[in-house]
Amino acid sequence: MNTVKDIDPNIAKTHAVLFDTWFPIEQLPIPPAIAPDIANIAAQVSAGMLQAFSQSGFFPVLIGLTYPTKLPFYTQLQSSQNPAVQAFLKATGGYGGLAVCDRHPLFSYLFDGDLAVVTAQFAMIIREAYLSGIWDLPLAVPITEIQPPQVFMQNPEIYAKRHAPVLPPSHLRYDAATQTIQHQDGAIDYLVIGSGPGGAAVCHELQKAGKRVVLIEKGPFVVWGSMDTRSYSRLLFRNDQASTVTNSVIIRSGETMGGGSTVNIDLAFSPLAATIQSRIGQWIAQGLLDAEEYSPEKIAVAYQRVRQDIGTREVSQDELNQDNQVLWNGAKAFGVDPSLYHLNRFPTGLSPSPVDDKLDAARQLLRKAMQDTANPLGVICDASVDQIQFTTESDGKTVQATGVALTINSPWTDYGNTVVDPSNLQIPPGTTVSIAANAVVLAAGTIGTTRVLLNSAKSTPAIANSRIGKGLILHPSVPLIGIFDQTINLLEGLDSATFVEAFGPTPGFIYETMGGLPAYGALLVPGNGQDVYNAVSQFGNCAGFGTMLVDTPSDDNCVSLDDQGNVMVQYNLSEPDKQRFRAGVAIGIRMMFMAGAKQVIIPSNENFLNLPNFDPMVGVVLTESSQADLVEQNLQFIPNRTLLTAAHLQATNKIGLSPNQGVVSTNQRVWNVLTGAEVPNLYVMDSSIFPTSVGANPMQSIYTFAYLFCDRLLQGMEQPQNAIAAT
């Protein structure tokens, strides 16, 4: 492991100069009384970042900036006539030896020069890495004067010991000789992959019905209440550093017990809401859902069960903090009705844990099933499913799932607050084992389920459907920041409680209150390090809400695997979606000003105001509502120029009437592409089966669909079907 003193001095200097570029402490208006303290903290933060970078995939970026010949686009840079580029190429030590006057111009060129298609992503990765590190809590707290949130209980390991669920002896057994996991009571009825809202609901319902069920989860099992799990990087896909291939959209996806229900804010849109009902109606009209099984009446009954089991509640008006009130007031002034969220949380002040108020799927559904002494839900966490295993009949085409192969991961034990090996199997990390079952239910989410299907298809041609992973929906969101004359304090009280769905069914965008810590806010502010400081230092006067697009599926947007088997997320907005998105952002800007904002910031360094002599390293802040018209005309959502976020991945393994149209049938069984029939015992139950966007935050719809799915299974789902020939 490298230490800072072992790092090439030239690379260390490049880092120091980059840190100064994005936090130019000598030029910042830091109050003199605290300037020495801030300088000391900044030095410690810089050293910590360099240490972390030296052990991460970011280090090659520092090497390339120090020794430009190692950059993949070095040859193209050589042909550039830009003075800052030529100075960079000639400077001893690369960026570390660059004169101060050339630093910003170099980044301006990388973002907006004649090689921007190649270099903008490189520049944005650097910007995001430095601003997120610089504006983490050690520097943010004294500069912004915020109270840092408490993430962990004091002595989390002791809290975990006291509050970990008491589990009966597991009914699972591991045979090291055959490297198989078996159930002591006989064949496993259902093997469920993924513990998010879909998987947890399936486990809960099937186990309650007396079925032998085993759950496999890739992430750790955090003891509820020991920490605030929302947006904690270790519990997210790729440690919350995931993005699309072009870095055009930052992706947030849960990878822990409870999945997205554990890490997301979990804004609960009822599946009976007009936005969602319009989508369900379209799917029924296309024959993709049964009109009787998914009638509003049946959905209402299932959703009521979900609300009772999860503890969903409606926020009251008096719970709105000033941040939520901004969207509420702005919508009213614009002439549309805002709404109060349903949340899966304890009422304010009533949570038994002072750091966590979430009512997630793990706590509400899985814990009860695991604690059943007669028929406990078997749980294998910290385990990655490699592929589904099949038997093939004599025709060489007809297949049936027999179980899965999985690899045990090293558990996360940094804070001593996780349940390790809840089934007491004692399998060494790195071991690959098999587990058999009568049926397999994939519920690992849009990324996880797609990965398993693509891996399985490599050895099983019957499920090698070209539709796997295609037509990805992201619900991309543009966060807006409003700066007010008065204190907002968006960290106080509920972080999100209001939304506006007036534009949801058509033209297709929703506004949602959003919050975040300064490290997130810094990424949203365009311009240079001083521009970022000027905005983030006013953090207490900032409010935020996002414009979320209900995007349209396209086969070009997909989840796939690279040659090493790593997940790749490819996504670009279509021109019609851009047009609708621009209109949504413009309305959001107007609402923010109508709520009283003096300035509005959009996370973009595009020339959205069509300014002469525009420089992407000079931040542009909106100061009047009429500028929304220019944004609507000029914003192009250029990758690595405008920041988009996404946490609602959907639709990569769509329901279809045939293998040519979808990955699963209307019975949610995976299609056999060789026979045109359903694989009789392989199901998918997560957001990836939606034919299009569900129309809003999908969490409650996933729970509800899972309950309806289990009802159909337990009542005797239709026998496996053949594809409809006409399709």
User: In this predicted structure, what is the pLDDT of residue 722?
Assistant: 83
Where are any strands of DSSP class E within 613-699? 644-646, 669-671, 678-684
- The helix/strand/coil state of 568 is strand
Q: Fill in the amino acid letter for 368.
A: K
φ/ψ of 406, rounded to 5, equals: -140, 155
Q: Fill in the amino acid letter for 90.
A: K
Cis? peptide before 507, omega within 30° of 0: yes
CA distance linking residue 399 with residue 472, whole number of Å: 27
Q: Fill in the amino acid letter for 95.
A: Y
The model scores a pTM over 0.75: yes
User: In this predicted structure, what is the pLDDT of residue 500?
Assistant: 96
| First CA to last CA distance, the chain | 57
Q: Would you kindly state where each structural domain of the chain is located, as residue ranges?
A: 4-144, 160-312+359-465+654-714, 477-646
* 675-707 CB burial, b ≥16 within 10 A, e <16: bbbbbbbbbbbbbbbbbbbbbbbbbbbbbbbbb
User: In this predicted structure, what is the pLDDT of residue 496?
Assistant: 85
User: In this predicted structure, what is the pLDDT of residue 727?
Assistant: 39
CA distance linking residue 344 with residue 360, whole number of Å: 7
What is the per-residue pLDDT across 36-76, written as a single tens digit (0 to 9) for each? 999 999 999 999 999 999 999 999 999 999 999 999 999 99
CA distance linking residue 212 with residue 287, whole number of Å: 33
**Regions of the chain with pLDDT less than 50:** 1, 725-727
CA distance linking residue 527 with residue 519, whole number of Å: 15
Backbone dihedral region of 367: left (phi > 0), alpha (psi from -120 to 50 degrees) or beta?
Answer: alpha
Strand pairing report for 432-436 and 180-183 = parallel
Evaluated on CA atoms 336, 341, 342, 348, the torsion sign reads: negative
CA nearest 616: which of 230, 116, 138, 33?
116
CA distance linking residue 448 with residue 453, whole number of Å: 9
Asked whether 244 and 251 are in contact (CB, 8 A), the reply is yes
- Encoded tokens for 656: 């279809």
- Encoded tokens for 26: 């000598």
User: In this predicted structure, what is the pLDDT of residue 383?
Assistant: 98
Q: Which fold has domain 160-312+359-465+654-714?
A: FAD/NAD(P)-binding domain (3.50.50)
